[in-house]
Amino acid sequence: MKEKVGYPWTTLPDYMFAHAGQGYAGHGTLCGALGVSSCLINLVIYDKDDSYRAVIDRMMWWYAGMKFPTERFDDISAFPKQIQV
């Protein structure tokens, strides 16, 4: 976003979401991608009508319905053949 759009994205720190890596501080809980995506969705479409909530809700439902982790990268994964849930 910094390169494609510029301001105000240029004002965000580069490592703003580093804490979300590996399931928030390495705990392997909630996928860091969900928390970061939620924050960015909120920044992009925040308004008084809370329309960001519908977008985040759909993302969470999509995530809940997918089988993770994918086997796509098993050949380079430190933990291949994990149970999908």
Q: What is the pLDDT of residues 2-50, one digit of tens each?
A: 899 999 899 999 898 888 887 787 777 777 788 889 999 998 898 878 8
pTM (two decimals): 0.67
Q: Residues 74, 81: contact at Cβ < 8 Å? A: yes
- The alpha-carbon radius of gyration of the chain (Å, integer) is 16
56 touches 44 (CB < 8 A): no
